[in-house]
């Protein structure tokens, strides 16, 4: 296992659509382990392969209450509730800034596991938010794209200022 470098905003790979993982073989499982270790080191609660520059449909999520990470190959939202919740979001590719977004309160996701078996899972609350956030990333939608132009521009300026301070 290895901690991989995280792609930082505004890298164009963060807005590219990821390709499906065709074979869930040892290489794919090793990538999932690396993603998990990278997410823990960031630290974060969710990560995708595009976050480390690999344009493949792989998501790892581990909430504070989870004993083990959830690993999703080729996840897609197949249903979402009509009720909406607001949640503060951010990204390991844009550390130090967050903003509130609206998401569906519940979703059902179809995906493949580490053995290649297909599953459907329903999630609500924070897990539903994380799944939508990370699947957006796989679809080339960076989280700030869901903000109004005004909020997005302010957030980018705040992030750029933080980057200048860190450099």
Assess whether 19 carries a catalytic annotation.
Answer: no
Tell me how far apart the alpha carbons of residues 87 and 133 are, in angstroms, rounded to a whole number: 11
Neighbours of 135 (CB within 10 A): 21
Catalytic residue among 26, 37, 134, 160: 134
Tell me how far apart the alpha carbons of residues 129 and 114 are, in angstroms, rounded to a whole number: 22
**CA dihedral of 15, 118, 109, 20, whole degrees rounded to 10:** 10
| Spatial CA neighbour of 132 closest among 92, 102, 98, 96 | 102
Which phi and psi (to 5°) does residue 148 adopt? Answer: -65, 160
Q: How far is Cα of residue 146 from the mean position of the Cα atoms in its chain?
A: 14
Do 89 and 101 contact (CB within 8 A), yes or no?
yes
Q: Which residues are catalytic?
A: 134
């Amino acid at each position: 296992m290895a901690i991989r470098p995280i792609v930082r905003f505004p890298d164009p790979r963060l807005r590219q659509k990821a390709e499906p993982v065709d074979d869930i073989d040892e290489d794919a499982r090793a990538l999932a382990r690396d993603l998990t270790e990278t997410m823990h080191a960031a630290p974060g609660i969710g990560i995708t392969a595009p976050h480390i520059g690999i344009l493949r449909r792989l998501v790892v999520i581990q909430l504070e209450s989870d004993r083990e990470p959830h690993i999703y190959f080729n996840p897609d939202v197949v249903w979402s509730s009509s009720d909406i919740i607001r949640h503060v979001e951010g990204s390991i590719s844009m550390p130090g800034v967050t903003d509130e977004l609206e998401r569906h309160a519940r979703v059902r996701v179809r995906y493949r596991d580490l053995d290649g078996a297909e599953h459907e899972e329903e999630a609500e609350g924070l897990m539903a938010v994380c799944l939508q956030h990370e699947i957006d990333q796989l679809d080339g939608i960076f989280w700030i794209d869901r903000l109004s132009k005004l909020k997005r521009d302010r957030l980018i300026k705040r992030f750029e200022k933080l980057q200048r301070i860190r450099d």
